[in-house]
Amino acid sequence: MAGVKIATVFDSIAALVVSGVTIKDVDEIPEAVLVRHCPVMFPDPDSPVSGLRVDPQTTGAGTNGKNNVLYTLNYVYLHTPVGEGRFIAGNISGMVAKCVLILNALIANDAVTGSIDIEPRIEGEFGVMSDATGAQFWGFRIAIDVLEFYEV
């Protein structure tokens, strides 16, 4: 398959299996998140892809030049609605446990297709986040830096 593979990388990440977490594809971003959807991870509707750049590795035009394509895929993870459950500590410890599972799946999975290398990281802080309707959830953001070798 030739060309930049952003959609393929989104598809591959959505296909990862993380116990107890639903991972959505870029065409499945929820308008509203309900309790029954949680925990859920989906591409950030405000900025699903950022930092896209082409880094030439050799000189030459068209198919003669070799390039790296670098970009970041941005995800939102919503663990549970604020106020759900009896204790904040239980929600936070559950969120941390799911974060570890997600990062392990991303780091260890060689089946993420369309890329040469991915490097996941937590972007910002764990805490209260809102869905598109303004409903509040415990959650965090995950940024996944992607490096592709451009082939035509």
Q: Is 13's pLDDT higher than 70?
A: yes
In a domain, 56, yes or no: yes
Whether 49 contacts 6, CB under 8 Å:
yes
Report, as an integer, the average pLDDT of 17-21.
94
Nearest Cα residue to 122 out of 33, 1, 41, 61: 41
Q: What percent of the chain has pLDDT over 90?
A: 53
In a domain, 1, yes or no: no
Segments forming the whole domain that contains residue 33:
6-150
Report, as an integer, the average pLDDT of 97-114.
85
Structurally, the chain folds into a number of domains equal to 1
Nearest Cα residue to 141 out of 76, 80, 71: 76
Residue 53 sits in a domain whose CATH number is 3.30.2000
pLDDT value, residue 71? 95
| Residues in Cβ contact with 147 at an 8 Å cutoff, skipping those fewer than 6 apart | 68, 69, 70, 115, 116, 117, 118
Predicted TM-score (pTM) of this structure: 0.88
48-101: pLDDT as tens digits: 999 999 887 777 666 666 788 899 999 999 999 998 766 777 788 889 999 999
In a domain, 46, yes or no: yes
CA-to-CA separations, 64 to 5, 58, 115, in angstroms, rounded: 19, 8, 20
In a domain, 24, yes or no: yes
- Of residues 146 and 89, more confidently modeled: 146
Q: Is 112's pLDDT higher than 80?
A: no
- Of residues 115 and 141, more confidently modeled: 141
